[in-house]
Structure 1
Amino acid sequence: MAYFLGLLVALVGFWLGMSGHYSPLLLSLGAVSVAVCMILAYRLDIIDREGAPYVRIVGFALYFPWLMVEIAKSNWAVVKACLKADLDIAPALVKVKTACESDLAKVTFANSITLTPGTVTVEIEGDKMLVHALYEQSAQPEAFAEMDRRSREAADGKRRPA
C-alpha cells in the first residue's frame, strides 16, 4: 500500500510540476491520466519495491558521493599510467562474485565498475561478473568488495548477510 501511495504522490507531483497549468479542465485531465497510470501499474503488477525507485533516494544519495571519490582516485591512477614513458599496465580479466540480489543492484554495481576508469564490466551472468582491468593487482575480486557492498545497500537497502 505504501508503494501505491508513493507512486500516486510521485505521479501527481510530476504531472503538476511538468504541466504548470492549474485550470479545472487540465487538472481533471491530469487526474484521469494519473488514474489510468495507476490502474495500469496495478494490473501489470509493478507496484512493488523494484518499481518504486523513490524509496531508494537516501541510499543512492549516500552512494554517489562515495562513487565520485572512487572515480577520481581511479582516474588519477589511469592518468599517471598514460603519462609514463613506459606503459607498465598488466591487463587482466577477472570473475567477480556479487552479493547483490536484485537486478537493479547488479546493474548499479556493474555500471559503477565501468564508470571507474581502468575497469570495464564485460559480462554479467547470475551472481558473477567478468571485469577487465588495466592492472592485474587491482583486479582481484577483493578489490571490488566495498563497491559491491555499497551498491547492494544503495539499491537493495540491505546490509551484508550475516
Structure 2
Amino acid sequence: NGQVHYTDKDPELNKSKADAVKSLTIIEKDELEPNSSWKRYEHKKKQASNQFEEFNIVSPKPDTRITSANGNILASVHVDGNLPSKYRIKFYLDGVARGKVRSNSQLIADVGDGEHTLYAELIESHSRKVMIKSPEIKFEYSRSATQLEN
C-alpha cells in the first residue's frame, strides 16, 4: 500500500488479543426450568380445561340462518354451572372482540347482513391470559323482517 501507519499500540499485543478471541470456548447453555409464574399459569390453564371441558358456542347454532329486524344476536357458550368470578368470557365476531362479560352470554349489537364467524375465549381476570378458546362457528344473519325460505 505504501502508506505509513503510526500507532502507540504494541503490534504484538494486538496479535495476542486476536489469538485470544479465536480460542474462546463456547459452553452450551443448560435447559432452563420454567419460572414459577409460568408454572402457575400452566396449572390454571389445566384446571380451566378440566372445569370447562365442553367450552363451545351454543347460540347461535353453527351453520344457521338468523333473521331479525334489530341487528342483534345473543351469543352464548356452554359452561357447567355458574361462571366463577375469576373468569371472563370475550366473544369475537368476525375476529373482532366484542367486550368481556362475567356470564356465559352476551348480546352483540349491530350485526350486519351476511355470513359471520363467532368464537369465544375464557380469560382469567387477574392475569388476563386466555385459558380456553372455543371452536369457531359460522352463521348467516339477515335483517329482513320475514324469514327467507330455501
TM-score by length of 2: 0.30
Structure with bigger strand share is 2
Structure 1 or 2, whichever has the larger Rg, is 2
Higher helix share: 1
